[in-house]
Structures are given as structure tokens and as C-alpha cells.
């Protein structure tokens, strides 16, 4: 099907231009995926939120590891990476402990935010910059961490939404070298415009119908408790829908747009080339493990409740969002130095 689509596309002027010009191709892909993500958000937001993590969660985390650690876009000293991983590992252990019988720790959200802020502080302290800027950014990270710990669960909710937006900004930053500024700004405006339409209530007439049911056992109340705790029911519905759209684009960014942008060859990647690149980065054993774990979560829904499978996945990978924020913070520090 993919090969047939390329053959049809190559018969059009735009299709031929996309084959030759990676920047144009990535822009078209980004817009196409945004339109598709919006359509799925409007037609079946709860199913999107249920199945997205189960089917695409592991591949997107693998891409996180690939482009932030294995061959990172943002290069940090190995000691710096080790420093970042210590609080993130502790965060993961705290989340997983209740699964094996330990009681949930009081104020766990505040503790997680504190550990995440510590990871960000470690990242900015290791970023290449001037001593004065390093001290400034460390102080800023620590101050935001204190505020986050004080806000606790509210800060955790903000981070859940923010890490999707930051990932899109990260892709725009690395896409900028492939495309004119006007195209980058147009894509950013489309993304923010869609988010504004959802949160502003312009699509309520559709969303009221599509969020009134449930996907398996996942319903609007469950998602509202997860990403929109304590807000008005109408606003909660909008926030859930905006999260569904942003999460879908988050997966697109890490699974499709970032790998194509970082591929050494500008031509459209074949499946064989994609597999070869993955084997180069993770090794043969690592690639096999990636395939096995990627399949394990979808197959687990045949034996267990899909909502439980989604819950376990989110528990295990809780630290990945903080890893993204920490590495992006380091990228921002280094960019500030470049423009200082």
C-alpha cells in the first residue's frame, strides 16, 4: 500500500517535489498527520487515548531513547546523562512499587515533580554554556521545581500536557534547517490553531457526542481525573480532546517526523533501510527486544482488560516525559549560548 501510494504521488507535481525535497515532504507529512489526528480526535477521542499508548507507546519511547541518548540531537557528557537518570530511575521505581504490593506513597505527585525538576536541573548544569548562564538556568530550574513541588498534582497535570507541546516545538527546531521560516511558522500556527479550536469550544457540538460513551472501560470521567482534575465538566471534555490530539501528534513526531529528519539520506526511507538503521542503533538483540515488547502490549489486551494494559504502560514509562523535558531544557540552554 505504501509503495502504491508513492507511485500515485509521483504522478503529481507535489509528489515528485516531496520525493526530491525532504523539507517539503516533512511539512506535507506534518500537515497530513495533523488533519488525521484531528479527525480521529473528533470521531473517537476515547479510542484514540486507549489504543494510542498500547499500540504506539513502546515504539515512541524507543525513538526517545534513540534520538536523546543513543545518537542524541542534544549531546551531553556521559556523567551528565548518568546524573539525569538517577532521579528518573527513582521516579519509575516509586510508580512501579504499588504494582508489586507496596503501598502508594503519600504526596507521590509532589515527589515525582521534585525528581523530575532535579533531572532538569542536572541537564541544564551539564549543557554547554557560559558559567554565568549556567548558574542562571540552574537557579531557574530549581525555582520552578520548588513551585512544582508546592503545586503537587496540579504541576503533574501541567507537565502531562506540556511535554506534548514541547516535543512539537523540538521537532520544529530541528526541522527549521530543512525549511523556510514561513513554512515552519505556518505549521506551528496550524497546530496551535487546532488546539485553540478544541480548547476554545468551537468543536463542542461534535465532542459532546463522541465523548459521551466509552472505549472499553475508558470513559470521559476516567480521563478527566487523569488530565483535567477538578475543572468544569465542559472544560474537562475539551482538555481531554486536546490531550488526545496532542498525544497523537506526539507519537507522529517521534515515530515518523524525527526519524526522517535525522536520517543521513534525504530520500524517503524504505522499510529495509528503517530496519537497518534500527539494528545499527540498538544492535540485533536490541531490535528483537524492541519488536517483542512493542507487540507484547497490544497482545496483552487479548488476555487482560485494555484499560489495565494502558495503565501498566503509563506506569512503566512515566519518566520518559521528564527525560524529554530535561534534554529539551539542555537544548534551550545551548541555543541561548549560541545567541548570546
Nearest by Cα to 204 from 231, 241, 245, 229: 241
- pTM beyond 0.85: the answer is yes
For residue 291, name the pLDDT band (cuts at 50, 70, 90): very high
* Model confidence pLDDT, tens digit, residues 16-51: 888 888 999 999 999 999 999 999 999 999 999 999
> What is the Cα–Cα distance from 245 to 31, expressed in whole angstroms?
13
The three cell numbers locating residue 225: 481525573
Average pLDDT, whole number, for the chain? 89
* Model confidence pLDDT, tens digit, residues 118-151: 999 999 888 888 888 888 889 998 998 999 889 8
Domain chopping of the chain, boundaries: 21-335
Summarize the confidence of residues 142-164 as an average pLDDT: 89
The three cell numbers locating residue 140: 531557574
For residue 6, name the pLDDT band (cuts at 50, 70, 90): confident
pLDDT value of residue 46: 94
Q: Is the pLDDT of residue 107 over 90?
A: no
Amino acid at each position: 500500500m505504501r509503495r502504491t501510494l508513492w507511485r500515485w504521488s509521483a504522478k503529481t507535481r507535489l509528489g515528485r517535489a516531496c520525493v526530491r525535497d525532504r523539507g517539503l515532504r516533512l511539512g506535507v507529512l506534518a500537515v497530513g498527520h495533523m488533519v488525521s489526528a484531528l479527525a480521529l480526535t473528533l470521531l473517537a477521542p476515547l479510542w484514540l487515548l486507549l489504543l494510542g499508548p498500547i499500540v504506539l507507546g513502546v515504539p515512541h519511547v524507543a525513538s526517545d531513547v534513540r534520538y536523546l541518548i543513543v545518537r542524541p540531537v542534544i549531546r551531553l557528557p556521559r556523567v551528565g546523562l548518568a546524573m539525569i537518570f538517577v532521579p528518573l530511575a527513582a521516579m519509575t521505581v516509586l510508580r512501579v512499587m504499588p504494582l508489586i504490593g507496596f503501598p502508594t506513597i503519600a504526596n507521590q505527585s509532589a515527589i515525582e515533580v521534585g525528581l523530575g525538576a532535579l533531572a532538569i536541573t542536572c541537564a541544564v548544569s551539564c549543557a554547554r554554556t557560559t558559567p554565568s548562564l549556567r548558574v542562571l538556568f540552574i537557579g531557574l530550574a530549581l525555582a520552578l521545581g520548588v513551585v512544582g513541588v508546592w503545586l503537587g498534582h496540579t504541576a503533574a497535570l501541567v507537565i502531562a500536557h506540556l511535554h506534548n507541546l514541547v516535543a512539537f516545538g523540538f521537532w520544529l527546531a530541528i526541522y527549521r534547517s530543512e525549511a523556510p521560516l514561513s513554512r515552519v511558522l505556518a505549521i506551528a500556527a496550524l497546530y496551535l490553531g487546532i488546539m485553540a479550536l478544541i480548547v476554545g469550544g468551537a468543536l463542542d457540538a461534535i465532542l459532546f457526542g463522541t465523548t459521551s460513551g466509552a472505549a472499553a472501560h475508558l470513559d470521559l470521567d476516567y480521563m478527566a481525573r487523569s488530565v483535567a482534575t477538578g475543572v468544569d465538566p465542559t472544560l474537562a471534555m475539551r482538555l481531554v480532546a486536546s490531550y488526545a490530539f496532542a498525544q497523537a501528534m506526539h507519537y507522529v513526531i517521534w515515530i515518523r517526523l524525527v526519524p526522517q529528519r535525522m536520517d543521513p539520506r534525504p530520500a524517503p526511507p524504505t522499510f529495509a533501510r528503517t530496519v537497518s538503521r534500527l539494528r545499527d542503533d540498538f544492535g540485533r538483540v536490541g531490535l528483537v527486544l524492541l519488536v517483542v515488547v512493542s507487540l507484547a502490549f497490544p497482545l496483552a489486551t487479548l488476555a487482560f482488560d485494555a484499560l489495565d494494559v494502558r495503565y501498566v504502560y503509563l506506569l512503566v514509562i512515566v519518566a520518559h516525559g521528564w527525560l524529554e523535558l530535561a534534554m529539551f531544557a539542555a537544548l534551550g540552554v545551548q541555543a541561548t549560548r549560541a545567541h548570546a
